[in-house]
Structure 1
């Protein structure tokens, strides 16, 4: 039954309460947020996101499309919180320091 919710990668938005951060992880959660907790100011992206989320829940579009629509709608009133990457992007190149030993300094008697 949860697969009907059309899950996607987490999106964080600010709620109505001060410093309240809400995690949205599915098209269903996004639709509920749009209908119940959205700020008073709405715009064209908000209306488009509502239509896209409804289509997604009906099975007519992917969860990825619904996520993009929700993020764009959340950027409009400034409630979208940019997620910082957890770690730097992998470049495919090894660190040049890996596998090298530190030089040993020998004390000379003197």
Structure 2
């Protein structure tokens, strides 16, 4: 895997609730919290066929609860579309330009 292999729950919640075009900041009048995130993710399984659950993450001398990318990989592969190969389609007339 490339990139970050784990994130604390608080970082995940901050990023989800900051998204302008997503419902995470207002779910029935309340923002997504760690308990609801945990319940939602527990519906999915890891590659080892275990429910996804938060685990201890050591960071800067402290231990936080969070999620490992490896635990989420199977769910991402099944339910999330792959990112586009190119952020923008080529301009007309430039497809064969070198």
Alignment TM-score, normalising by the size of structure 2 = 0.32
Rg larger for: 1
Alignment TM-score, normalising by the size of structure 1 = 0.30
User: Normalized per residue, which structure has more helix?
Assistant: 1
